[in-house]
Structure 1
Amino acid sequence: MERLPYAQRMRNRCIAITVLITIIVAIVHCSSKDDPEESAKAAAKQQALAADTLAQAVAPSDTNPFDESYNAEVPANENPNGLAALKGIEDEDFESAGNTAVGNDASAISTTSESTDNVRDTVHIKSQKDPSLADKIDILLRRYHPDLGVILVVNTKTNEIIAWGERRDGKVQNRPDWIGRATFPAASLAKLVTIAAAMESNRYSLNTPIPMIGRHHTLYLNQLRVPEKYNGPTMELSEAFARSANPPMAIVGKTIGAKRLTAAAAKLGYNRRFPGNVPNASSYTAPDTGYGLAEVACGFTTSTTLTPLLAAAQVRAVLTKKPLEIPWARDMAPFAPQKPIALDIGKFSENTYYGLRESMLRSVTQGTARKHMSTKNMARKNFEALRLGGKTGSLDGTDPAGRYDWFMGFAESKADPSKSIVVIVMQMHKEIRSQPATQVAATVINYWAHQNLSLKK
């Protein structure tokens, strides 16, 4: 007898399972009709079982050993969240690879799991400058459950911290203990130093072509050896920054040298002890030559560390074209200054500030932040009303151990540039990743825009 087509067999299987589940639900309902509460629980359990069974029945990966048309080998490009994608886990910006399935699974688990996060302490929320935004941040931390999460929002004009949130040790914290901690690897956020040093050297412009050898997110010695008469692929300096390409940025770092890199790092607040040790000193050490210099230039090392508080100060300095100042808040002592503090740190040239800003804008329009910093996570009216820029970074760290995921950036009203915020999101994941930092930042920015921009629907 000739077999039915595969699609028809699957349809018949679904019908049979649906009928069977309906019968089971009816039997359970009749047996527990005297207890409405038990009946509701049983019905919910049976519905969940039905959904799972049905999903397994129609799943494309359901192997039918008798179907000769079934192909057991799935091409890598048809399975972006499979093993082929996971091989790139060492890549610097994993979010650019589109590997968000694990994060989505984690968020689904987080929203249904029971934890101490369900008990909310709102005292620290009400005491913040913008309680509404602080409440939104608190909800995001409870929803996505990063193993370590720090979210910081700063008013660009006043440099005041208007909202923050922190999660670690399995619960949301009521004190921002770690916004000034300097054990977190800066990852590709260190590329801000390299592009600043390159612009200050007057040897590079945003459009200067840089050799692009090999993959973007790896760094091997052969990627740094540029032949004398190189005629291979190139990448503009600002594009290398925006797409977080390691080899071009490493080549630039080796060309301009450790002295210029260290000088640029100093103007961005690295290796500096601040008053009251708030924040802790972020570390940036560039070897004179060799592969180590290349690693530091592109952020491919854990030796370069950065605090969320200093990251916010760096972004604001780029926006305001002023020497770096640490963000402050009246009610966050001893974790942040209680008033604005002028620091004796030099400033970059106007051309360098312009280059840094344009490169950060390009990260959103064409680079690693493009996927999540979009209408996918923001209302279209808000997205179109804002000028968005930033930098992403991702690297394994050891204190605490896990995969670190960064976003540092800004949102500025096109109609009224005085309405602007700096947003820092730093997350650390262990076995299960939560949502990408860029997606969390986009959600925070979208909420702020709803509350602060007068936009027509």
Structure 2
Amino acid sequence: MKPLPYKVRLFNRILLIGFFIFLCTHCVFYFFSSEAPNSYLSTSNYESLPDAPDSPLVPQADLAITGKLPEESPIDSTHILNQKDVYLAKKIDHLLRIYKPDHALFLIVDAQENEILAWGQRSEGTIHTSPTFLSQSTFPAASLFKTVTLTAAFESKKYSLNSPIPLIGRAHSLYRFQIQPPSDYKGNTVELQDAYAKSYNAPMAIVGYDIGSSSIKSAAKKLGFNQPFENNIPEQSSMIIPDTGYGIAEVSSGFTQSTTISPLLAAAQIRALLKQKPLEIPTATNITPYAPTKSKPVFDSLFSESTYYGIKEAMKRTVSHGTAKKNLSSRFIARRYREQLDIGGKTGSLDGSNPEGRYEWFAGFAKSRLESDKGIIIVVMQVHKEIRSQPATQVAGLLINYWAQQYLDLN
């Protein structure tokens, strides 16, 4: 009989050795894995701990060490129960306790009645029972001021939503060379509505630099900047813009800490632009002196109909194609509600000092497409230190969803 080739014999030996090693390993593993009686590995010597509850509020380290949940300090809910919409107030309070921003104010205003529905504030590690941030105007407006610039641009009749704006260098930086394109410029451009929606600094600065200081001052005045309000509610917001030079570009793009705004004025601005009405500060019955109990329209604060149209479309563009696209979608707003709503707004972020940290804004609206009297204004202001909490747009999306659950008729 002819012997097998050497390679075949070698292969068979390898298979045999491999099988033998596998068999030995399996036997050894089985021998050592079986527990002897009274072994120190016996699980009977351990007291099982309770399962951790599904809540980010529970200190898991304490739970693992003691096997007991720590006692929580009682929640003072008086300020929640006194609000116009207790359900929304509870939801705001819940989000503040879960996300734990270093400083924050969340605000929801009824767009039709101009009345504050709910609010919540957190600062220095505690939930506040008074909205002290509401009318305070030490907060940098950041890119919220781009709304003023866009309004002034539409009022000048020199720009429309689709106007091409030079895009020189990085979109979110701001240098002198970026704001003075040559007359024969043939480089990259971006539509004005997208420069606003994506919060591009240089293109918006070019627009502000072109229309000039006086146009921006006029639009800013109509939207409440540098204007005193009755009983100083809210505090006077500040906007200082030079007549010429690079400072115009800084202010018009929101790239300066000197332009400040209060959350209450931010809400008033969004409502005025949405409803095409004069500027009017939102009211509340029981949070004096942080919001007025009665309010009256600001004289000479109307814009042209085409400007209102352009602003609302640009704000909706922020949600459909811009900085709020990710979170103001069906990701955090149920699809059945999202399909019924027009949602728009503006985001902004900038460092500030009172309180100190990185400021993050969303100021916008959600309005029913089927029922014109149903809509809200939402302002989310957060100040982050070393660790950032959830994005302002995510908070806004959740609050819109909570409101829609209560107010939209799906029948």
TM-score by length of 1: 0.77
Question: Contact 2:179 / 2:209 at 8 angstroms: preserved in 1?
Answer: no
- Is 1:181 aligned with 2:195? no
Name 1:143's counterpart in structure 2: 98
- Is 1:264 aligned with 2:219? yes
Name 2:119's counterpart in structure 1: 164
Name 2:210's counterpart in structure 1: 255
1:40 counterpart SS class: coil
- Is 1:392 aligned with 2:347? yes
How far the C-alpha of 1:239 sits from its partner, in A, is 1.2
Alpha-carbon separation, structure 1, partners of 2:277 and 2:196: 22
Alpha-carbon separation, structure 1, partners of 2:202 and 2:321: 18
Name 2:311's counterpart in structure 1: 356
How far the C-alpha of 1:309 sits from its partner, in A, is 0.1
Alpha-carbon separation, structure 2, partners of 1:280 and 1:409: 21
Pick one of 238, 241, 265 that aligns with 1:310: 265
Superposed counterparts of 1:14-93, under 5 Å? 27=41, 29-32=43-46, 39-41=47-49
Which digits, 9 at most, give the CA deviation of each residue in 1:214-241, with x for residues without a partner? 1221111221130221011111111111
- Is 1:428 aligned with 2:383? yes
Name 1:321's counterpart in structure 2: 276
Alpha-carbon separation, structure 2, partners of 1:315 and 1:400: 24
Q: Which amino acid aligns with 1:219?
A: L
Q: Which amino acid aligns with 1:260?
A: S
Alpha-carbon separation, structure 1, partners of 2:338 and 2:202: 32
Question: Contact 2:138 / 2:260 at 8 angstroms: preserved in 1?
Answer: yes
Structure 1 residues 366 and 360: CA distance shift in structure 2, 3 A: same
Alpha-carbon separation, structure 1, partners of 2:73 and 2:40: 34
2:351 counterpart SS class: strand
2:260 counterpart SS class: coil
Structure 1 residues 205 and 120: CA distance shift in structure 2, 3 A: same
**Identity, % of aligned positions:** 50
Name 1:336's counterpart in structure 2: 291
1:158 counterpart SS class: coil
Name 1:123's counterpart in structure 2: 78
Alpha-carbon separation, structure 2, partners of 1:354 and 1:139: 36
1:188 counterpart SS class: helix
Pick one of 373, 378, 391 that aligns with 1:418: 373
Structure 1 residues 450 and 44: CA distance shift in structure 2, 3 A: closer
Q: Which amino acid aligns with 1:40?
A: S
Superposed counterparts of 1:90-105, under 5 Å? none
How far the C-alpha of 1:328 sits from its partner, in A, is 0.2
Alpha-carbon separation, structure 1, partners of 2:270 and 2:41: 63
Which digits, 9 at most, give the CA deviation of each residue in 1:132-169, with x for residues without a partner? 01000000000000000100100011100010000002
Alpha-carbon separation, structure 2, partners of 1:433 and 1:439: 13
Alpha-carbon separation, structure 1, partners of 2:303 and 2:42: 73
Question: Contact 2:107 / 2:380 at 8 angstroms: preserved in 1?
Answer: yes
- Bigger shift: 111-120 or 175-184? 111-120
Question: Contact 1:111 / 1:144 at 8 angstroms: preserved in 2?
Answer: no
Pick one of 236, 240, 250 that aligns with 2:191: 236
Alpha-carbon separation, structure 2, partners of 1:116 and 1:404: 33
Question: Contact 1:286 / 1:293 at 8 angstroms: preserved in 2?
Answer: yes
Question: Contact 1:117 / 1:171 at 8 angstroms: preserved in 2?
Answer: no
Alpha-carbon separation, structure 2, partners of 1:149 and 1:411: 21
Q: Structure 2 regions of 5+ residues with no counterpart? A: 1-13, 15-28, 63-69
Question: Contact 1:327 / 1:336 at 8 angstroms: preserved in 2?
Answer: yes
How far the C-alpha of 1:118 sits from its partner, in A, is 5.3
Structure 1 residues 359 and 328: CA distance shift in structure 2, 3 A: same
Which digits, 9 at most, give the CA deviation of each residue in 1:333-368, with x for residues without a partner? 111000232322421111111111111011101111
Name 1:152's counterpart in structure 2: 107
TM-score by length of 2: 0.85
Alpha-carbon separation, structure 1, partners of 2:133 and 2:174: 30
2:93 counterpart SS class: helix
Question: Contact 1:200 / 1:352 at 8 angstroms: preserved in 2?
Answer: yes
Name 2:250's counterpart in structure 1: 295
Pick one of 223, 240, 261 that aligns with 2:178: 223
How far the C-alpha of 1:111 sits from its partner, in A, is 5.8
Question: Contact 1:182 / 1:281 at 8 angstroms: preserved in 2?
Answer: yes
How far the C-alpha of 1:110 sits from its partner, in A, is 5.8
Alpha-carbon separation, structure 2, partners of 1:408 and 1:116: 37
Question: Contact 1:117 / 1:172 at 8 angstroms: preserved in 2?
Answer: no
Structure 1 residues 338 and 168: CA distance shift in structure 2, 3 A: same
Larger Rg: 2
Q: Which amino acid aligns with 2:100?
A: H
Cα RMSD for the two superposed structures: 2.4
Question: Contact 2:359 / 2:383 at 8 angstroms: preserved in 1?
Answer: yes
Pick one of 189, 203, 209 that aligns with 2:158: 203
Alpha-carbon separation, structure 2, partners of 1:362 and 1:110: 36
How far the C-alpha of 1:40 sits from its partner, in A, is 2.6
Alpha-carbon separation, structure 2, partners of 1:186 and 1:275: 22
Which digits, 9 at most, give the CA deviation of each residue in 1:20-52, with x for residues without a partner? 9x99x99474224xxxxxx133x869xxxxxxx
Alpha-carbon separation, structure 2, partners of 1:112 and 1:222: 52
Alpha-carbon separation, structure 2, partners of 1:163 and 1:26: 58
Alpha-carbon separation, structure 2, partners of 1:117 and 1:421: 34
Question: Contact 2:134 / 2:264 at 8 angstroms: preserved in 1?
Answer: yes
Alpha-carbon separation, structure 2, partners of 1:116 and 1:254: 58
1:310 counterpart SS class: helix
Structure 1 residues 118 and 27: CA distance shift in structure 2, 3 A: farther
